[in-house]
Chains A and B, each alone.
Chain A
Amino acid sequence: MPTMTLIQAINAALDEEMKRDERVMLLGEDVGKRGGVFLATEGLQQKYGPDRVMDTPLSEAAIIGAAVGLAAHGMRPVAEIQFADYVFPGIDQLFSQAAKLRYRSGGQFSAPMVVRMPTGGGVKGGHHHSQSPEAHFAHTAGLKVIVVSTPYDAKGLLKAAIRNDDPVVFMEPKRLYRAVKEEVPADDFLLPIGKAAVRREGRDITLVSYGGPMVETLKAAEEMVAAGLDPEVIDLRTVMPWDKETVLASVAKTGRLLMISEAPRTASIASEVTATVSEELFDQLLAPPLRVSGFDTPYPLAQDKLYMPTVTRILAAAKRLLDY
């Protein structure tokens, strides 16, 4: 089985899906000869030609909007937004067109498309190369939202997203693009959208995270294990619709929930998960669910490391839960 980085897994998923289905095409800024600024589409234009790997004008509205029309007419477009921070000129296309097309037409038309974007901080990118805007998408009915954290998941979920009949926002933590390599099957496999992965089973506390901070969450879990504790770790993978069943089953067992995310705290995925657990498991909780998150500031440059959920901060919050 080959080992791959996250970016290589994405490239492999795109390649396989384009080979499998002629309707699959890629469009975005610099996706052609350049292979994307992070090289997600490297080599694909040479292989499939400029019509199926299409360099677009520098216009997110054109990229996402054209993907809507391509999809409605029968193609399976995968649009690349160069950074999640730059999706906003395309938001009317994503929210007013893609998300609502099936609903507003009474099911007559739909937009089966994927919008890929590098997301998150930790790369000294300042506030316009570091944001985690997944809550905006999750708050818009009609979109599915995936945030991956491993090469294996990236391949299996991107392939599933391309074959899905709904518009999917596929978010790739840029700081993980080349951070790790793992074994990823070279053949065809799909992972279910909406299903979390239990990364470690345990009895004392449930740590839930997704995307970039999975790294710090797993490190914190290791330190807890070294200290004689037994944490359970869940990677949501899909944040809309998120896997309530898996999270509730875990917290019902441990009685303690710590939700870790680098997105701003207020009105976040972390807020949604902790609120739901409080509503549904109130009488089984041993402590109030807590959040370790990014802050409600624009993403800072100088305080890049301070903004992100750190292992120390995760352990401190876990201690509060365990000592409650």
Chain B
Amino acid sequence: MIQEKVRFQPFSSEPIRLIDEQGRWIAPFEHGLPPDRLQRFYRDMLAARLLDEKLVILIRTGKTSFIAPHAGHEAAQVGIAHALRKGHDWLFPYYRDMGLVLALGVPLVEIFGQTLGNAADPAKGRQMPSHPGSKALNVFTVCSAIASHIPPATGAALSMKLRRTGQVAVCTFGDGATSEGDWHAGINFAAVQQAPAVFVCENNRYAISVNISKQTASENIAIKAQAYGMPGYYVDGLDVLASYFVMQEAIERARAGQGPSLVELVVHRFGAHSSADDDSRYRSREELAAERQQDPLLRYQRFLEQQGLWDARWANELRLEISKALEAALQEALQAGEPDPLEMFDDVYAARPWHLEEQRRLVAEELQS
């Protein structure tokens, strides 16, 4: 399948943007999307925002131990999710992608189960919160080690190419990840093999406290692609339709056998790095307040309003409906209870070797006494 048209040029000096701050469509092409689809983007962004708010409540009320807030990333994450073929393509996410996996269709009960680390977590409470995964949706379970999922994304894409499955591997990461050796290793190999992969930087310009200026001397992240021999797209990640259309072009380009791309979605991080971080120590409240004025939901709301697809009443109903679904899923997850303590010894290997049998027996006896 050869793409009918190429809409975007790589290596632009300004971020690719289709909707301006006032909500006006400024692209040289028609978006061609039906009203319900346009509203779906808003719905998914709102759900991502409300999920983030819910997770903040869970941490403040002591129900969970950790979160990595994604507020400010919603347009980028929803744009990525809409560009993937759900359940067909593979996603290799990082720890700030709860909005992305929600938009991709990971059930809320699983998301809360993972956050609570209880029996509702398909990964059996094995990892810290903000580390989702779903075999059913081809979401490769998040690994904390920064950029360590990039070579595996390349490997999966190689398998897709060798077996001609028509799938694409989409791999997301933050700006800090681009400094890791494994980032280079994975992206370089994917380019050499023309593997069907799309590497996506959700660039919020902070790796915990370290500003992008201390991370790289490159003028942006996208330009790094040039050295690897692949296109790099510099995109306004606060613009959901820019994120979507660029991702779609990169994904379909990969699917058509034309190789990998690097997509940089420039976003804001409205929260701290995590619930264990105090960002007032390293960035001014004025800077943050100014960024919050550029809320991706607000910009898209203005766009929809101009299309006659948004009004306050509809938005309030939507908010209520999502909030109810969040609360219901949370309650269901809370009911799940603790995982079986002896599950600690499962899934280390396909079958338990003798030494794990022995260690399991020790704990079983301890629990019985």
Residues of A whose CB lies within 8 Å of any CB of B are: 25, 51-52, 54, 56-57, 59, 61-62, 64-75, 77, 89, 92-93, 96-97, 100-110, 141-142, 144, 164-166, 194, 241, 244-245
CB-CB under 8 A for A68 and B151, given A62-B189, A241-B354: yes
CB-CB under 8 A for A108 and B134, given A69-B169, A241-B355: yes
For the complex, give the distance between the alpha carbons of A100 and B145 in Å: 11
CB-CB under 8 A for A73 and B156, given A108-B122, A108-B133: yes
Is B123's CB within 8 Å of the partner chain A? yes
Contact of B140 among A65, A66, A72, A244 (CB under 8 A): A72
Distance in Å: Cβ of A238 to nearest Cβ of chain B: 10
CB-CB under 8 A for A101 and B158, given A59-B185, A59-B189, A65-B150: no
A-B residue pair count with CB separations less than 8 angstroms: 153
Is B248's CB within 8 Å of the partner chain A? no
For the complex, give the distance between the alpha carbons of A116 and B124 in Å: 32
For the complex, give the distance between the alpha carbons of A241 and B192 in Å: 37
CB-CB under 8 A for A66 and B151, given A104-B127, A104-B131: yes
What bracket does the count of chain B residues touching chain A fall in?
Answer: 35 or more
For the complex, give the distance between the alpha carbons of A65 and B193 in Å: 15
Q: Tell me whether B185 and A62 are in contact (CB under 8 A).
A: yes
**Which B328-354 residues sit within 8 Å CB-CB of chain A?**
346-350, 353-354
Q: What does the 1/0 interface line of B98-137 toward A look like (CB < 8 Å)?
A: 0000000000000000000000011110110001011100
For the complex, give the distance between the alpha carbons of A93 and B121 in Å: 25
CB-CB under 8 A for A74 and B188, given A104-B141, A109-B135: no
For the complex, give the distance between the alpha carbons of A77 and B160 in Å: 14
15 residue pairs bridging A and B, Cβ less than 8 Å apart: A52-B162, A57-B188, A61-B151, A62-B185, A65-B154, A66-B186, A69-B154, A73-B160, A74-B159, A93-B148, A97-B151, A100-B143, A102-B349, A104-B133, A108-B141
Residues in chain A near residue B135, CB distance under 8 A? 105, 108-109
Contact of B354 among A62, A72, A89, A244 (CB under 8 A): A244
CB-CB under 8 A for A70 and B148, given A61-B185, A108-B134: no
Is B182's CB within 8 Å of the partner chain A? yes
Is B181's CB within 8 Å of the partner chain A? yes
Residues in chain B near residue A102, CB distance under 8 A? 347-350
Main secondary structure of the interface of A (DSSP, over half): mixed
For the complex, give the distance between the alpha carbons of A107 and B343 in Å: 11
Is B152's CB within 8 Å of the partner chain A? yes
Distance in Å: Cβ of A128 to nearest Cβ of chain B: 18
Contact of B143 among A62, A89, A96 (CB under 8 A): A96
Distance in Å: Cβ of B181 to nearest Cβ of chain A: 6
Is B23's CB within 8 Å of the partner chain A? no
Q: Tell me whether B162 and A142 are in contact (CB under 8 A).
A: no
17 extra interface residue pairs, beta carbon distance < 8 Å, beyond A61-B182, A101-B141, A110-B350? A62-B154, A65-B150, A65-B154, A67-B155, A70-B155, A70-B158, A73-B159, A93-B148, A97-B143, A97-B148, A104-B127, A106-B124, A106-B141, A108-B123, A109-B135, A165-B350, A241-B354
Distance in Å: Cβ of B183 to nearest Cβ of chain A: 9
Residues in chain B near residue A141, CB distance under 8 A? 348
Closest residue of A by beta carbon distance from B127: A104
For the complex, give the distance between the alpha carbons of A245 and B358 in Å: 13
Residues in chain A near residue B42, CB distance under 8 A? none
Residues in chain B near residue A164, CB distance under 8 A? 350
Q: Tell me whether A109 and B141 are in contact (CB under 8 A).
A: yes
Q: Tell me whether A93 and B349 are in contact (CB under 8 A).
A: no
Q: Tell me whether A194 and B151 are in contact (CB under 8 A).
A: no
Is B267's CB within 8 Å of the partner chain A? no
For the complex, give the distance between the alpha carbons of A89 and B151 in Å: 12
Is B76's CB within 8 Å of the partner chain A? no
Q: Tell me whether A144 and B150 are in contact (CB under 8 A).
A: no
Q: Tell me whether A92 and B126 are in contact (CB under 8 A).
A: no
